[in-house]
Structure 1
Amino acid sequence: MDAFFASVEQLDHPEYRGKPLAVGGNRERGVVAAASYEARKFGVRSAMPSRLAAQKCPNLIFVPPRFDRYKEISRVIRKIFLEFTDLVEPLSLDEAFLDVTNNHFAFPYATQIAKAIRHRIFLETGLTASAGISYNKFLAKVASDLNKPNGQAVIPPEKAEAFLEKLPIEKFFGIGKVTAEKMKALGIHCGRDLKAYSLVFLTRRFGKSGRHYYDIVRGIHESEVKPDRIRKSLGVENTFEKDLLTSSSVAETLTNKILPEFFRRLQQSQTAGRTLTLKIKYNDFTVHTRSRTFPEAIPPGSMEALALELIRQEELSGPVRLLGISLSNLIRPDDPGRQLRFSY
């Protein structure tokens, strides 16, 4: 979807249309969750501190996120996907991989399916979508950004390597800002530069990811579209308007604001796990995590005490701007011999 959260807000609130809009945060603090295309012209991007976004765009409108509304529209879009193929792997509320090799309408070309899906999405939601089409997930993801908004692009097999050689390294799906900077320090600025390094060197320098980088620059990515992606963690976090200054205020906020929503999601998903992690982001944006792992599933009834224990594990190193709690090492509901229904 094109600037999904921001586009939904502009759809539901005509007064925001054509204006620079940021979902999340405010002029003083917080983080931008999504930016409209009008805001992007000023350099406003998702994950940008709100104060910086306001500096870049003085007329920027900030609105709070409405995740229930985004999920509602996401369900409509997911239903449209499934009318064309059963092989749908969601990446987020607004994005998914589709394997359309064997599609329900026997379309001979993926480009036809992409156009049909985008047309249906617009008719049913009033929102625009863009599509990337190729022979593997990595290239399709890269292609999906080429003609945004409201467009689509194709990278055929015979053009893949030449395309990737020219692609800036930060545009490679899966190479984040930190890794891109490390690569640039090695003189790797585009795919051609990356391709010059051997598998041995990349593996030594980047560990297991080195094999992935070696393959993707050659257009090799054999990951299948998996319609039933396994959730790896479940959590809740919150950025505060005012920093939390004491351990007692952190504990109180965790108990009264973070954990109730965490338990609601836990009960809704009927999920169990063996690792509980506390996340603390300080006002200098450094992030610390504290975890406890157990051999069996952690009973929900003991999670609050465990979370408070993690807070007391060590002194705070400064004012706290973000607090989160998450459960990982999850146990699937269909795991034989596991009893996942707990008393809440």
Structure 2
Amino acid sequence: MDSRQALGWDGTVATETTSTDEADGTDGTDGTGEPDETAVFERHRSILTGVAYRMLGRFADAEDVVQEAWLRWSGEGRADVREPRAYLVRITTRLAIDRLRQAQSRREDYVGPWLPEPVVTDYGPAAPDTAERAVLADSVSLAVLVVLESLSPLERAVFVLREAFGFPFAEIAAVLDRSEAAVRQLAGRARRHVEERRPRYDVDPAERRDLTERFLAAAGGGDMEALIGLLAPDVRLVGDSGGKAKAPLRIIEGADKVARFFIAVAGDAARYERRIVEINGAVALLVLSDGKPDLVLQLEIADGTVRSVHIMRNPDKLGGVVSGRPAL
């Protein structure tokens, strides 16, 4: 089975495989020849966090789920656990499904549109190679995570485990306590759903950055004509504030309306510190006020035009975007 990329506990990329755990000495022991429970858990923390984040769309929730998985792991007898990775992924996935079901019911009362929590994926000197970046960008992109929100919790679990991490259907069936045939049906349904709704375009990072900078210059300079020229006629602006900051409470559609919105707010944004950073595998604008994150803006681009704009202003979802990593 090919190795896949997992978003690490600290935002880094870790490579995991779907083979069974091997006695390679990396688990550590407690001095008696028995595996040390902390070392075993830490070995698999990155894949657990990666699964939980893709399941929940919030890094804080993913951390909580992984912490609960640790409490269960450290508090239970493990004499009969021969494959810790499979066991821990099963615990984490089931905890994430339970939390996702609770979150979906709470989101009915959420103020305004809901977007996933942005995470920094700018690794500086530790940046993964081009192929690894492509895997990362596809599996944690805001656009894909938004699409995953429309899946049922079980469909989302199957999609994440199969598409992002390459788990065999038999292992996924064991994780979810379903038959392999049922898991294959869930996987097919989820894949069709995602393919129908996910963006069908690839954008060169340099092109994305160039268009983002031209977008910001046009908005900041009040150049309505230039700004409209960068926008697709059916462009959509989606803002997430959770009712805790100023942002559109409804999706704004159409080039003229979106351009007018940015022309109106650009003057206020000019007095804040601005950085171009990599968020969820793609270039984005980070705005800081007094050194604290105030806004994340990211464009979806196709055929040289902006197809949608995502704005995150909910302060509860911005704490993790300033991590000490250098800007792009």
Shared fold per TM-score greater than 0.5: no
Higher Cα radius of gyration = 1
TM-score by length of 2: 0.27
Structure with the bigger percentage of helix? 2
